[in-house]
Structure 1
Amino acid sequence: MALLDSIHGPADLRQLSDRQTRDLADEIRQFLIEHVNRTGGHLGPNLGVVELTLAIHRVFCSPRDPIIFDTGHQSYVHKIITGRSGLFDTLRQEDGLSGYPSRAESPHDWVENSHASTSLSWAEGMAEGIRLTGGDRTVVAVIGDGALTGGMAWEALNSIAAQQDLQLVIVVNDNGRSYYPTVGGLANQLSAIRTDPRYEETLDRIKQMVTDKPLGRQVYGLMHGVKTGMKDALIGSHGIFSDLGIKYLGPVDGHDVDALERALELAKRYRQPVIVHAITSKGKGYPAAEHDQEDHFHTVGAVDPVTGRPHGVSAEDSWTATFAQTMVSIGRAHPEVVAMTAAMLHPVGLAPFAERFPDRIFDVGIAEQHAITSASGLSAVGLHPVVALYSTFLNRGFDQLLMDAGLHHQGVTVVLDRAGVTGSDGASHNGMWDTSICGIVPGMRLSCPRDRHHLESLLWQAVGIEDGPTVIRYSKDRMPAEIPVLRSTGDLDVLWQTSPSGPVDVLLVCHGQMCSATLAAAELLAGDLGLDGAGIAVVSPRWALPVDEELLAMASRARAVVSVEDGLVVGGLGARLSGELHARGVWTPVLELGIPSQYLPHASRSSLLHRIGLDAAGIAGRVRQMVDGLGEVTRPRLVQQATEFPADQVALPGTRPQIGQEGVDAAR
């Protein structure tokens, strides 16, 4: 790969001939297939933007001209061009290359938030700031057609339309897919442009007629104005974008570097907001990805680079698969149950429901706010919607959860996949905020299922609850084997106890995926870390919110209570338990173990849990510290110890948090 080896920064691209640039695109595509299939990552989106990214960097001068990638999952080519190709063996690994833009990695990365539809707001703010400070720089925002289904993008476009003195180029990467074929009115209009046979056939005929003649490529370039006029006559250029008052160029073949460069040069010279509409093919150059109708190659784990088959496939059921199977069963029994997703039909497991009940599935695009309120409307007329999202994306629909579903007491079930620590996708994709924000919705019912049977029974119960919203959250991690229940008291399950008939001195309250680690910690405490004969019990409430009355009664009789969750410790489930006890005048010390209020670096889930003291050894060590100190410290200090984690011990990759290490040392 001689050409790729010679690229150390964007300036090197501008030294290449047109032919060399096309050859480089082929090398980069092969580089991505080989490396991303080994490490895992967003393969399909990056294969689709190779030529587009090369053209942007050849026309604009990064980092002087800020380039902002909406969502950022399609920035791998940008990373390669900006001197990071040698780090791709560490992609998405601890202390390695991030799977999204990262300001810590390069000055070429301006924005690293990996939630969709934000790029245009960032870009307008930057362009406005450059204008106000007298700069002569162009801001480039690259946004996909999927991200344009998000309302925030249209809020930004509406504002940009009123700012005609901004040097801003908006590149619409239109591949007709987000996670799945893009839906909605915008998608329909883009598809009409993308597929109009008169436009494509006429341009192909002209290109064939002239490019094989002497000076043919130059002639074809001079015909750009004719092409634009033809496009106006055939399909109209004053459509969805031009109606906003923003200059529109395209559609352009997103895999033709020459055509892209011409369009981008025109946009740059215009010195006002311009939209360049590029048509690309997701997974370009990799047959396994190009022909994949279910978009499995949007994100891949480690797979065979030739066949595209995953390595090390596990036969164990996942949380998502169990949800998918249960929803089909519920759909057969309950015709009033409908399902909704936000452009993630396959990732959240609703594809089987959609296939079985095509009239009862709603994909609203990347619009979580709209999803929650629309679901509330469905509930208001007698249906029961199940809204399936990734946990991190519920953050965007919080106002609607609070004021539409919650305030109106609508029977809406929200199912949150990828809750807790997710790891390799970095800070923004950890599902660590949901329990804290759901906890302030009055009357909210929330559960963290601990195994397959628990999840199935909760789903069946939730679709029958019509007096308010319910939330069910589960992990990206493997589903554990069924966890036996020692006994149940109401909705409180006792999973383990040192002496079933004896008193409980230390009560361990576990939620969801943390039940297995908590049980292992309890065995450590009863064995090598023996607590001088103290009675230990591990309990798991069926519903974490509202706080179970049986749990409150059991906690009030214990000497110490420890809550273990894979959600944010600030305002989390442990904090709610502690608050309810205090409201009843019960001052039992409560140790709240959860995720610290910090942005976690990308690493494996197991590594991050170890670093923040949420593995079995860390939990056991913290409990032992608490019990040992009960006679020496006051209750306020116990709570402080449980909830404060030094910032420099979590945020820096490669550094093991002291608190987590103390837990390990104590466990040993």
Structure 2
Amino acid sequence: MNILEQIKSPADLKYLSTGQMQTLAAQIRELIIKTVAQNGGHLAPCLGTVELTLALHKVFACPRDKIVWDVGHQAYTHKILTGRRENFSTLRQKDGITGFPNRFESIYDAFGVGHASTSISAALGMAVARDLNHENYNVVAIIGDGALTGGEALEGLNNAGISKRKLIVILNDNEMSIAQNVGALSEYLSLIRIDEKYRRAKKDVHRILSSIPGIGSSVLKTANYVKDGFRNAIVPGGFFEALGFTYVGPLDGHNIDDLVNALEKIKLNMDGPVLLHVQTKKGKGYLPAERHPDKFHGVGKFDIATGKPLASDSIVPTYTAVFSQALVDLAAQNRNITAITAAMPSGTGLQKFAQIFPERFFDVGIAEEHAVTFAAGQASVGKKPVVAIYSTFSQRAYDQIIHDVALQNLPVVLCLDRAGLVGEDGPTHHGVFDMAYLRQIPNMVCMAPKDENELRQMLYSALTYSCPCAIRYPRGRACGVPMQEEFTLLEKGKGELLSVGDDAAIIAVGSMVQEAVKAKDELLKEHIHCSVINARFVKPLDGSLILNAARKVKCIVTVEEGALAGGFGSAVLELLADNHIYNVPVIRIGIKDKFIEQGTRQEILDECDLNSKSIINAVKNFINGSDK
């Protein structure tokens, strides 16, 4: 019997028995595995929260009650139960279901997410609004143990505890974020997991004290007075109690009956903030994901029978792999080089560095702000720290980049992977703002390579310069160009003239240089001669190269895989204005003032006109006098 096909909304769960709920859980897992194998997505975290999600929707009445997911990469079951089962095959595809909760997609998605550690703050905001409006509904935040390492999560816990408002925080403890959890909070939760020892110890103390003739009862009475202190000394759940939460747990996060019973009692009997600690298994129900939860956190298409990724025919390395090898090569030459990641050693390519130079590798957990200031501290005493981080997550450390790195002119190197449009993960993960916000920071050098060989040289150069540097490079395969083994220092702020022509100058940066070259070649067939400049540096610009070209051509076209507002094209316009060059039109191609939805990387590049065809049309329209 296919129970899943009968579930049209969460209300349909109210009438299911425990056995039916367990059958439903198995059917949901089957659907998730099948869909992610075809589309890619977040597999292991979603398989670990099936029973928890079923229990939540059985107990609470959404959308009136608010469920707030942290990060949201564990919310596929939530999507399936809330009217999106029939369209689930479109997961992460263009115009399909998004990979994360999205307020514009469903009324059941109470809050849009994609980055870690936001759920408690958002849920507390909802609880405050509820109370101000004299309304009566429940607010539940679900946060993983990895996201609990983020500073905003701790800020939210601190504020929520002192507020005394009714709020339920569920700590989904699977001993992992993406990679293995690190830090003191991880150690702390490990102690809570031995809760059975606490229960036995408490019984033993009670029995021993009661058996002492004469004084046993009075000592036991005193012990009862200080039971909170006794409990806190043995069970570290007292940390949450000290913050003002009632701590419940840990519970088996795959036992539907226990979860439902606990949630019902919390909903009915507790008025203040409650933290429910549940233990789940990441990847549960699919053996390859259980064995390798880190590899199955976020995956591309794979073979269900073997768990192996569907092989790519390409032998061209990814930019991440090129960065990884270059950093290892440089670190072998310079003992002052260190590497820092914020819970993404695999995604950023630092695993190889960690294996070869473990004493110089630091995973700080999901704590980008800390990662940057931690790097600044190292740089201030002579080290050469490299902070490898996704572009979208670097936004979280903007103040630290300004205040702790750039203001002190410290030689921290930010390596921003997944810069530009990342594809199926959608607007929460596109790294399109980095050029705009980095180029306005004094002392900052910002670079973008046209290919993998240039990435190697940029990393070497950044580690040689004595100032803050950022290198941004895209997701996926590089260009397949030959790579030189030796490293070459790039002159700071020096671009590269790739071709000369007097009709137009195409000034491109990063991934768009290849498209500019393609456009130049096609335009030449129509006797339109274009200069092509590989800018290399977003900041500082090669002013002499750009100004020299501007004085010789009929128009300039700038091309960037980033936000137009304040981005690379804006920098070129400012350069021309500052040098009183007003007679050459500038056509800017880049990402307009909107958030870009999901799709394959090529689909959304085309949607944003980031291709050679758009460059060709821009030049031809101007040359032919039809540019509008």
Aligned mates of 2:450, 2:523 — CA distance in 1: 21
Matching of residues 128-167 of structure 1 within 5 Å? 128-164=128-164, 166-167=165-166
Q: Is 1:458 aligned with 2:461?
A: no
Aligned mates of 1:349, 1:196 — CA distance in 2: 37
What do residues 542-570 of structure 1 show as CA deviations (whole Å, max 9, x unaligned)?
Answer: 32310113323333323222111101111
Worse overlay, 183-192 or 264-273: 264-273
Q: Is 1:590 aligned with 2:586?
A: yes
Give the secondary structure class of the aligned counterpart of 2:540.
coil
Matching of residues 22-37 of structure 1 within 5 Å? 22-37=22-37
**Amino acid of the structure 2 residue aligned with 1:609:** L
Corresponding residue of 1:401: 401
TM-score after normalising by structure 1: 0.85
Give the secondary structure class of the aligned counterpart of 1:67.
strand
Contact 2:143 2:169 in 1 (8 A): yes
Aligned mates of 1:124, 1:551 — CA distance in 2: 53
Corresponding residue of 1:80: 80
Judged with a 3 Å threshold, the aligned counterparts in structure 2 of structure 1 residues 606 and 286 are, in CA distance, closer, same or farther, namely same
Q: Is 1:495 aligned with 2:502?
A: no
Following superposition, the deviation at residue 311 of structure 1 comes to 1.1
Corresponding residue of 2:216: none
Matching of residues 183-582 of structure 1 within 5 Å? 183-195=182-194, 198=197, 232=231, 235-236=234-235, 238-269=237-268, 270-292=270-292, 295-313=294-312, 314-466=314-466, 468-482=467-481, 491-497=494-500, 504-527=502-525, 530=526, 533-559=527-553, 560-582=555-577
Following superposition, the deviation at residue 26 of structure 1 comes to 1.5
Aligned mates of 2:521, 2:232 — CA distance in 1: 76
How big is the alpha-carbon RMSD for the aligned residues of Structure 1 and Structure 2? 2.3
Following superposition, the deviation at residue 21 of structure 1 comes to 1.0
Give the secondary structure class of the aligned counterpart of 2:454.
helix
**Amino acid of the structure 2 residue aligned with 1:539:** I
Contact 1:492 1:550 in 2 (8 A): no
Query: What are structure 2's unaligned runs of at least 5 residues?
Result: 203-226, 485-489
Please identify runs of 4+ aligned residues in structure 1 that moved more than 3 A. Answer: 199-203, 231-235
Give the secondary structure class of the aligned counterpart of 1:340.
strand
Query: What are structure 1's unaligned runs of at least 5 residues?
Result: 204-227, 498-502, 634-640, 642-668
Give the secondary structure class of the aligned counterpart of 2:518.
helix
Aligned mates of 1:616, 1:508 — CA distance in 2: 11
Matching of residues 610-649 of structure 1 within 5 Å? 610-629=606-625
Contact 2:71 2:113 in 1 (8 A): yes
**Amino acid of the structure 2 residue aligned with 1:515:** V
Following superposition, the deviation at residue 234 of structure 1 comes to 8.8
Aligned mates of 1:27, 1:441 — CA distance in 2: 52
Following superposition, the deviation at residue 492 of structure 1 comes to 2.5
Following superposition, the deviation at residue 191 of structure 1 comes to 1.4
Aligned mates of 2:298, 2:237 — CA distance in 1: 35
Following superposition, the deviation at residue 57 of structure 1 comes to 0.7
Judged with a 3 Å threshold, the aligned counterparts in structure 2 of structure 1 residues 320 and 233 are, in CA distance, closer, same or farther, namely closer
Corresponding residue of 2:106: 106
Worse overlay, 168-177 or 540-549: 540-549
Contact 1:199 1:234 in 2 (8 A): no
Following superposition, the deviation at residue 581 of structure 1 comes to 1.8
What do residues 181-221 of structure 1 show as CA deviations (whole Å, max 9, x unaligned)?
Answer: 11111111011212567369999xxxxxxxxxxxxxxxxxx
Corresponding residue of 1:601: 597
Aligned mates of 1:195, 1:576 — CA distance in 2: 57
Aligned mates of 2:22, 2:184 — CA distance in 1: 35
Q: Is 1:90 aligned with 2:86?
A: no
Matched length = 594
Judged with a 3 Å threshold, the aligned counterparts in structure 2 of structure 1 residues 159 and 596 are, in CA distance, closer, same or farther, namely same
What do residues 463-497 of structure 1 show as CA deviations (whole Å, max 9, x unaligned)?
Answer: 1222x210001111321122899xx9993222234
Corresponding residue of 2:217: none
Contact 2:317 2:480 in 1 (8 A): no
Judged with a 3 Å threshold, the aligned counterparts in structure 2 of structure 1 residues 199 and 77 are, in CA distance, closer, same or farther, namely farther
Contact 2:37 2:302 in 1 (8 A): yes
Aligned mates of 1:103, 1:180 — CA distance in 2: 28
Aligned mates of 1:336, 1:311 — CA distance in 2: 39
Following superposition, the deviation at residue 312 of structure 1 comes to 3.0
